[in-house]
Amino acid sequence: MESVQAIKQRFGIIGNDPKLNRALEKAIQVAPTDISVLVTGESGVGKESVPKIIHQLSHRKHGKYIAVNCGAIPEGTIDSELFGHEKGAFTGATQTRSGYFEVADGGTIFLDEVGELPLTTQVRLLRVLENGEFIKVGSSKVQKTNVRIVAATNLDMFEAIKKEKFREDLYYRLSTVEISLPPLRDRKEDIHLLFRKFASDFALKYKMPTVKLTDDAVVLLLKYRWNGNIRQLRNVAEQISVLEQNRTINSSTLQQYLPNSGNNLPAVINTSKTESDFSNEREILYKVLFDMKSDLNDLKKLTMELMKKGSVSDVTKEHEHLIQKIYGEDSEANYDSESISEDLEVLSIPEHTKQVETVTDVNDKYLFAEEIEEEETLSLQDKELELIKKSLERHNGKRKLAAAELGISERTLYRKIKQYDL
């Protein structure tokens, strides 16, 4: 069995971090078996190196090694890519095609970004892991394959399982052994080593002197968060190697190549609103509108009493409970007789209206109040019916659009239409 140091030299892995060494030790130990392996870690930490190590140290090293980026293949064609298809299975399938699991028989398949697989494909993959069987798209013939599956993901798999985006049974079949690679920010001692390696490689590639960092630049390099991990560090080293005339790089020069270097703290902002959030807001709005309607009715009652009594003081004494409802429960703190009188005087009936009332029948002088009361005391059911009618008319009877405007499901709208016999 090869040592960790020998593996590093053979595959060009730089670093002495204990977590990195432990991950390589697990890869060396699991390689001779056919156990499925799941490699986890942030994007850019070098997860693609582990499957290569496992394949080269296994008895399958003379077989095919195929790396598949599951996130880069469209959902409609990924089954065909992995399992193949028969001629005429779908539009454009002009001939029979062998998938990766057929081609890599006896070898290793590396499924990168396995968390991006559609649920239907996950079911097919689970069958391969359980008994080595698969069926081509458009075929009914079961085929056998003998492949070693190594998968990798940068997702939180338990969160994906919780959201039902990844099958729990598939996760446990893939992660018989899980190898986790640490992010670059947790490998402080390796950051400068990696930068020097990249700088040396680019100096040879572009035939120019190697760039070197001053002490203050090294301090900045180690403090930076490196959200893009090794991939980002390599990109920065290449930019500096190509663009800078001065081959000695200080901190001010390095800072120009570090985006958002002044803010290395992570931030999580959730601006999405769930359906329940909108439902709660709608309920609150309805409540406010009904409360306003109730207050308006109470105010009109006071106005009508003013018309009957003719004296503001009599109204405030006899209808104190209505006044408290409008002005607040704490009558002493929220209103006084003078302020209420001023409000009611504004609502009082003009002189010419009073003159007309004196020559009309006693019952007629309350006709206006009764009409208002009848208009304002429509039931909630009537209001609902009116809204549904207006929405259906606006959308020419299209229930789906009307339901969306009303904020209810199409099924609920259909029930309401039957209820009101619309």
Strands (E), 330-415: none
Rounded Cα–Cα distance for residues 132 and 153 (Å): 22
Pull the structure tokens for residue 372. 């208002």
- The CATH number of the structural domain formed by 380-420 is 1.10.10
What share of the chain has pLDDT > 70, as a percent?
77
- Range with lowest mean pLDDT among 108-117, 173-182, 197-206, 386-395: 386-395
User: What does the pLDDT look like over 200-242, one tens digit per residue?
Assistant: 999 999 999 999 999 999 999 999 999 999 999 999 999 999 9
Q: Which of 119, 400, 421 is nearest to 413 (CA)?
A: 400
Contact 66, 107 (CB under 8 A): yes
Contact 353, 381 (CB under 8 A): no
User: What does the pLDDT look like over 131-190, one tens digit per residue?
Assistant: 999 999 999 999 999 999 999 999 999 999 999 999 999 999 999 999 999 999 999 999
| DSSP state for residue 15 in the 8-state scheme | -
Q: What element of type H or E holds 40? A: strand 37-40
- Per-residue burial over 54-74, b if 16 or more Cβ lie within 10 Å, else e, is bbbbbebeebebbbbebeebe
Q: Where are the domains of the chain?
A: 4-182, 185-255, 276-376, 380-420
Rounded Cα–Cα distance for residues 22 and 6 (Å): 14
Rounded Cα–Cα distance for residues 278 and 99 (Å): 46
Is the model's pTM score more than 0.85? no
Identify the band that residue 250 occupies on the pLDDT scale cut at 50, 70 and 90: very high
CATH topology of domain 185-255: Helicase, Ruva Protein; domain 3 (1.10.8)
- The CATH number of the structural domain formed by 4-182 is 3.40.50.300
261 has pLDDT over 80? no
Domains 4-182 and 380-420 share a fold: no
- Report the 10 Å Cβ neighbour count for 108: 24
